[in-house]
Amino acid sequence: MGVSLDYEENGKIVSRKPHACGGNEWTILRVGAEYKIKCDKCKRIVFVPRDKIDKVVKSYERR
Ligand SMILES: [Zn+2]
């Protein structure tokens, strides 16, 4: 069961796989058909299609 509907902007994500920089914590900047998330370590921005977001997210914390 997906939890996509629970994600909110400014929420905090821990990803299953680390980013190229080694960080695995992200901040949700925008939700929608494509999620816009920012790596908390290197500050790069990545877009994730909504149907992929549950596969990326290991844990989520509302802010
Ligand atoms: Zn990064």
Q: Copy the structure tokens of residue 58.
A: 């290991």
User: pTM, whole model, 2 decimals?
Assistant: 0.88
pLDDT at 3: 47
Domain that holds residue 30: 4-61
pLDDT at 5: 60
Q: Which residue(s) pair with 11 in the sheet?
A: none
CA of 20 to the centre of ligand 1 (A): 6
Q: Copy the structure tokens of residue 43.
A: 């500050």
CA of 36 to the centre of ligand 1 (A): 14
For residue 50, what is the enclosing H or E element? helix 50-56
CA of 48 to the centre of ligand 1 (A): 14
Find the angle CA(14)-CA(21)-CA(63) to the nearest 5 degrees: 30
Q: What is the CATH number of the domain that holds 36?
A: 2.30.30
pLDDT at 12: 97
What total number of domains does the chain contain?
1
Per-residue pLDDT of the chain in tens (63 residues, 90 and over written 9): 444 467 999 999 999 999 999 999 999 999 999 999 999 999 999 999 999 999 999 999 988
